[in-house]
Amino acid sequence: MNDERLFQILLAPVISEKSTRLADKHRQVVFKVIPSASKLEVKQAVERAFDVEVESVQVVNMRGKIKRFGRTPGVRSNWKKAYVRLKEGHDIDFAEGHA
Contact 42, 33 (CB under 8 A): yes
Q: Quick one: 30 or 46, whose CB is closer to another protein?
A: 30
Provide the β-strand partners of residue 59. 82
Q: Quick one: 30 or 57, whose CB is closer to another protein?
A: 30
Answer positive or negative: Cα dihedral of 68, 71, 77, 79.
positive
Contact 12, 19 (CB under 8 A): no
Binding-residue pattern over the window 4 to 23 for another protein, x denoting contact by CB under 8 A = ----------xxxx-xx---
State yes or no: residue 82 binds another protein (CB under 8 A).
no
* Residue numbers at the binding site for another protein (CB under 8 A): 14-17, 19-20, 95-96, 98-99
